[in-house]
Amino acid sequence: MHSLGMARALMAVLALCCVAAPLHAAEEDAHVVMLYGLDPYLPPFLVMDKAVRESIASGKGAQAIFFSETLDSQRFAMETLEPELVALLAKKYSALHIEVVVAVSRKALDFFVRHGDRIWPGARVVYVGFLGYEFKPTELPPGASAVLSILDVAGTIDIARRLQPDARRIVVVSGVSEIDRQAERQAREALAKLDAQVPVEYLSGLPLPELEARVAAEPSDSFVIYLTQFRDRDGRPYEPHDVLRVIVKASRAPVYGAVETLIGLGAVAGSVASYASRGRLIAEQVRRALADEPLDPSRTVLAAPNRCVADARALQRWSLDAGRLPDDCDIRFANVPIWRQYWWAVALALLIFAAEATLIVALLSQRRRRRLAEQAEQAQRAELTRAARLAMAGELTGAIAHEINQPLGAILSNADAGDLMLDSGADRRDELRAILADIRRDDLRASEVIQHLRDLLGKQKFERKELDLNDVVSNLEPIMRAEARRRGVVLEIRRAPETLAIMGDRVQIQQVLINLVLNAMDAVADESEARRTVIVSAAKGESGAVLAVRDHGRGIAPEHRTKLFESFFSTKPSGMGLGLSITRTIVEAHGGRILVASSSEEGTTFQAEFPTAIANGAPFPYPA
């Protein structure tokens, strides 16, 4: 496989050399080398590599042609091969300008630092690796960029202890290659800090048959922490995932792992960082390197943080209680019928549905009896709209508190600082003036948030004005972002470059947007990190302006689709079932329409289309 890959890469190089020169077409594309310190076919790297290439391909910027190289340093003695390898690579890339080298693992980075100038002169490096475990961020070479994450052995042990608080023994399995040993050192440090007196045994570098026998002899009230095993004490090389498969099969005690791709092969759970999101972050850094932008620290270190991930099948096999896992644990591979898994939610929903049905009947008969005048009915509808808005605000309290407490906190600390300065007696008029200016600015910031909320929640006259749909989105951006951050959802906001003029009531259109966004966030709440994305866009449509909200959830059940916009229909235990029905009322009252597309693979998209504003606009039928 190795030589085949190399041959293919060589052919690609040759093809490129012959084609690129005369045509000048390929000059647009950047050349990127993925340099792996380990075997690039290891499962986590396959996931990561795919995400890197897909993100670059789907991105707006320049496209890239990828080349792959490997050092496989955990299984081969690099020192003896290095001179020939460097000579070969220098020859191979001599006719090709490489813009970026992605160095995966410390060995790859060191190799790049030693030989990059000769093999890929002028290339920038993006380093991918573990923090602390093999690298301190301050060791990053100048001009380099990085995506660093944590091998969280301590967190994984913590999860194991949550699931098995009464475990009588802990067994730690690792190999004896450099990486294996570093992981084992981390496990030793983490276990030394445990206050509980549980005996720990380290099985380091055992040949596979012996390891299998030792693990099989372990009683079921132990737990096994599997780190990595690239090599055993006799120097025999392994693929670490294969070792896990063997252990899992033999063991009566639950096995845990700290690498994402081990969960799913039989390991119960672990504190792991997603390789897909790491891939996307690498693509982002590659794009920045291609554009010659400097490193962005907030997207670099720990940007794919560790999360608890568990395998439902393994939990079941070892009869472990998923309820003991942390609340935000991502339980994968669940294959339980919805009814059994959520029986209480379904029962509750039915109960509420019955209560609501009664309510509907009551309301209808009441309405019939009273024969409400048209105006009164409209007033009631406006009240209902406002009630739904208040309910929405309730859901947003966390985000609102954050948005207001932030400037309030700054004001208080600034005032305190000013006080202390005055106490010191020195003349610091300029500093005090700067403090007052900041206080004023933060005060306005807080009152702006409150003003937006009052606009949204207050009981005010319906106002029909010409608005830009882009502005509606911008006004709500801080609150939507704060809410997204609170829920751990990635929120993407796309505005149209041109003005999207529509006629309407700003508050009601904001209500449509918030309602759709909250629904979308609910839809992705239980999804894995990769799918927890919501995209809000304002764009020009065929016959007007379109506000679209798209989620990557599991879609709407077919039997629910027809009832979606009915009043008092809700699938949420605490939902009133008014949100979407009011949303549609508002959109239609503005002369627009609402469309929904949903599938279990792609998620759901709601589109609200509003007619373009014309001077002395069309009749407006909804005086709320």
Partner 1 sequence: MSTGPLIHIVDDDASMRAALLRLLVAAGFEARGYSSTGEFLLQPLPDRPGCLLLDLRMPGPSGLDLQTALQQQNITLPVVFLTGHATVDSSVRAMKAGAVDFLTKPVKRDILLDAVQRALARDAVQRTARDEANRLQARFASLTQRQREVFDLVVAGKLNKQIADELDIAERTVKREREQVMAKLDASSAADLGRLAELLHRSSAR
Interface with partner 1 (CB under 8 A): 131-133, 136-138, 140, 148, 150, 152, 154-155, 186, 189, 192, 295-303, 305-306, 327, 398-399, 401-403, 405-414, 416-421, 424, 431, 435, 438, 441-442, 445, 485-486
Q: How far is the CB of 103 from partner 1 (least distance, A)?
A: 17
Q: How many CB atoms lie within 10 A of CB 289?
A: 24
Q: Residue 148 or 352: which CB sits closer to partner 1?
A: 148
Q: Residue 185 or 214: which CB sits closer to partner 1?
A: 185
- C-alpha span between 52 and 31 (Å, rounded): 14
Q: Residue 281 or 500: which CB sits closer to partner 1?
A: 281
Q: How far is the CB of 481 from partner 1 (least distance, A)?
A: 8
Q: How far is the CB of 192 from partner 1 (least distance, A)?
A: 5
Q: Residue 152 or 505: which CB sits closer to partner 1?
A: 152
DSSP category for residue 262: G
The pair of structure tokens assigned to 98 is 């490489």
Q: How far is the CB of 49 from partner 1 (least distance, A)?
A: 23
The pair of structure tokens assigned to 510 is 């904001």
Q: How far is the CB of 48 from partner 1 (least distance, A)?
A: 18
Q: What are the DSSP calls for 284-312, one per residue?
A: HHHHHHHTTPPP-GGGTBSSS--EEEEEH
Q: Residue 278 or 554: which CB sits closer to partner 1?
A: 278
- HSE-up (13 A, CA, CB side) for residue 618: 13
Annotate 532-589 with three-state secondary structure. CEEEEEEEECCCEEEEEEEECCCCCCHHHHCCCCCCCCCCCCCCCCCHHHHHHHHHHH
- C-alpha span between 105 and 73 (Å, rounded): 10
CB neighbours of 107 closer than 8 A, spacing ≥ 6? Answer: 37, 38, 71, 73, 78
CB neighbours of 182 closer than 8 A, spacing ≥ 6? Answer: 133, 134
Q: How far is the CB of 339 from partner 1 (least distance, A)?
A: 29
Q: Residue 432 or 597: which CB sits closer to partner 1?
A: 432
Is the separation of the CB atoms in 265 and 248 below 8 Å? yes
Residues in the chain: 624
Q: Residue 27 or 419: which CB sits closer to partner 1?
A: 419
Q: How far is the CB of 165 from partner 1 (least distance, A)?
A: 15
Burial classification of residue 459, based on how many CB atoms lie within 10 Å of its CB (0-12 exposed, 13-18 middle, 19 or more buried): exposed
Q: How far is the CB of 151 from partner 1 (least distance, A)?
A: 8
257: left (phi over 0), alpha (psi -120 to 50) or beta: beta
CB neighbours of 30 closer than 8 A, spacing ≥ 6? Answer: 62, 63, 64, 65, 99, 100, 290
Q: How far is the CB of 605 from partner 1 (least distance, A)?
A: 25
What's the gap between Cα 603 and its chain centre?
16
- C-alpha span between 500 and 471 (Å, rounded): 9
Q: Residue 93 or 256: which CB sits closer to partner 1?
A: 256
Q: How far is the CB of 72 from partner 1 (least distance, A)?
A: 26
First to last CA, the chain: 69
Q: Residue 66 or 133: which CB sits closer to partner 1?
A: 133
Q: How far is the CB of 137 from partner 1 (least distance, A)?
A: 5
Q: How far is the CB of 68 from partner 1 (least distance, A)?
A: 27
Q: What are the DSSP calls for 27-45, one per residue?
A: GGSEEEEEEESS-TTSHHH
Q: Residue 96 or 432: which CB sits closer to partner 1?
A: 432
Q: Residue 234 or 328: which CB sits closer to partner 1?
A: 328
Q: Residue 98 or 103: which CB sits closer to partner 1?
A: 103
The pair of structure tokens assigned to 410 is 């700054």
CA 278, 284, 287: angle at the middle one, nearest 5? 140
